[in-house]
Structure 1
């Protein structure tokens, strides 16, 4: 499939991915909203453990990005017979990785969380959540492989349908399992974890039915289960490992940030979780455009059109920023009115106390919407190892800034959150230098 550099092409690919790549955001948002209405302790706890699970999810998603880049390259070369082999190699690896992550969550987090959490309530509730949430990792990791397949071949429409189903099932089961409605047990935060796991199982099953009836699946050889190709898995692993490390460093830094904020008290952690929840909603367009530009760049290189790479990244960044600001500014300026349907109640003091951080959030999303598109565009060229170097540099600067602001100043949460702006500005500067240097022209995938 040969793609074009038009804004219409960018939107046609990126719009469905906005929802598909935001699947974990949808789940995290649903969990947070329902637990907000249960208790402030549960809301604070899901803020901490929710970020941890996002790190777990990002590891699987990162490995799928390596497969996505390779599939997009094969699609650009019109070597569709190789798509199925690449997909199944990705699935084999994701399933093996899911087993490892499951055992880590079941048996390792008790000791790991003890290094970060001072509150006994947050510690206990975080483990309760993971006890039921960890079972979903098998379907989550296989699901991102399927999404990578359809994103890589630029056929993203059904991703919308599947994500909507995921969200509806998760919301319904959260209502039943957290509060004990419809004859279901009232499980609290553990119910949120179970609801999210069941929702992922349902979404995965729906996508399998879609593949079975997809006429194009035969062209990709999806109904022929190949033998394990260790060499192809190694190629994907080599390409994806820096992307996974980038996600681990990036979201891991965010996890450490929540751990540092937790030391300030449960109220500060609850405020930070509210801002994180809004951040997840408003960042959905950026996730979609960033994943879309990944496919576009790799496809164009497969067509031997390297001269189109930088223009398509710039076009995507512009439309990503505009879309993000359209939904961001109303929320930042009128948080009480727009968040009331989700968080409505007599006590809206949490939103009031978070207002200064919301203003900072507008700057964060500006830097994030442009920086993330450029960073993922660079990854689409195959420069994933250099991306890891960049992300590591940015994470060191980010964590040093947070540590100083939280532990050695009285500047408060707004200045702590401003670390996100610093992070993306530094990253954007390095990526721009690299893309203009044309060092990526000789890379092969």
Structure 2
């Protein structure tokens, strides 16, 4: 963001704060997913894992959507606390439009990813995380350094990161290969 300008950097700090607050609730639900999935596996109740993840996923989606709606409706009231610079406010509003949806995706992707960790799939979790980080860095490099796109385009990188994490985690969980392992025979994967 430093390459885009002073106002963009200031707006990025504001947007990071907003996303961080949303992330606190999202990561709390994700931690719940991890613990619950691990607990269900420990009780040898594998058949209940998908239902538990689905329920936490629904709560997470509602939480993310609620936060997005709050940001959308309260942005004019909240913005003066962060900046009175018209350009910074304008850039922040551009970024907010992007993170409304990505915050919902953040909440849902972290729940699925932490369910994956709760399944004991540590190696695959690491591969997924590294893949998402590489996509994120590549995406930002292309958007900011190569194509010199607008500020809000840089914030669409959140969709790339959380979207890939959501898809990869969903595929792994829905394939149900993890169901063939008992807690004692589960591979360190």
Q: TM-score, normalised by structure 1?
A: 0.39
Q: 1:396 is paired with a residue of what secondary structure?
A: helix
Does residue 377 of the first structure (1) align with residue 115 of the second (2)? yes
1:289 is displaced (CA, Å) by: 0.3
Q: Where does residue 433 of structure 1 map in the other structure?
A: 171
Q: Where does residue 417 of structure 1 map in the other structure?
A: 155
Q: Distance in 2 between matches of 1:429 and 1:346?
A: 39
Describe the superposition over 1:179-224 as per-residue Cα deviations: whole angstroms up to 9, x where unpaired: xxxxxxxxxxxxxxxxxxxxxxxxxxxxxxxxxxxxxxxxxxxxxx
Q: Where does residue 361 of structure 1 map in the other structure?
A: 99
Q: Where does residue 32 of structure 2 map in the other structure?
A: 292
Q: 1:262 is paired with a residue of what secondary structure?
A: coil
**Contact 2:11–2:91 (Cα < 8 Å) also in 1:** yes
Q: 1:411 is paired with a residue of what secondary structure?
A: coil
1:272 is displaced (CA, Å) by: 0.8
**Contact 1:336–1:351 (Cα < 8 Å) also in 2:** no
Structure 2 counterparts to residues 66-145 of structure 1, below 5 A: none
**Contact 1:313–1:374 (Cα < 8 Å) also in 2:** yes
Does residue 302 of the first structure (1) align with residue 49 of the second (2)? no
Q: Distance in 2 between matches of 1:327 and 1:394?
A: 24
**Contact 2:105–2:162 (Cα < 8 Å) also in 1:** yes
1:309 is displaced (CA, Å) by: 0.8
1:314 is displaced (CA, Å) by: 1.0
Describe the superposition over 1:326-369 as per-residue Cα deviations: whole angstroms up to 9, x where unpaired: 122131344121343x43x6545422321011010011112111
Q: Distance in 2 between matches of 1:323 and 1:332?
A: 14
**Contact 1:374–1:431 (Cα < 8 Å) also in 2:** yes
In structure 2, runs of 5+ residues without a counterpart are none
Q: Where does residue 72 of structure 2 map in the other structure?
A: 332
Q: Distance in 1 between matches of 2:41 and 2:58?
A: 21
1:370 is displaced (CA, Å) by: 1.0
In structure 1, runs of 5+ residues without a counterpart are 1-260
1:284 is displaced (CA, Å) by: 2.0
Q: Where does residue 311 of structure 1 map in the other structure?
A: 51
Q: Where does residue 41 of structure 1 map in the other structure?
A: none
Q: Where does residue 129 of structure 2 map in the other structure?
A: 391
Q: Where does residue 265 of structure 1 map in the other structure?
A: 5
Distance 1:375 1:365, change over 3 A: same
Q: Distance in 1 between matches of 2:64 and 2:118?
A: 22
Q: Distance in 2 between matches of 1:315 and 1:292?
A: 11
Q: Distance in 2 between matches of 1:346 and 1:408?
A: 31
Greater relative contact order structure (CA < 8 Å, 6+ sep): 2
Larger radius of gyration: 1
**Contact 2:7–2:87 (Cα < 8 Å) also in 1:** no
1:426 is displaced (CA, Å) by: 1.6
Q: Where does residue 323 of structure 1 map in the other structure?
A: 63
1:444 is displaced (CA, Å) by: 5.9
Structure 2 counterparts to residues 156-305 of structure 1, below 5 A: 261-305=1-45
**Contact 2:68–2:101 (Cα < 8 Å) also in 1:** no
Q: TM-score, normalised by structure 2?
A: 0.88
1:440 is displaced (CA, Å) by: 2.0
Q: Distance in 2 between matches of 1:382 and 1:428?
A: 17
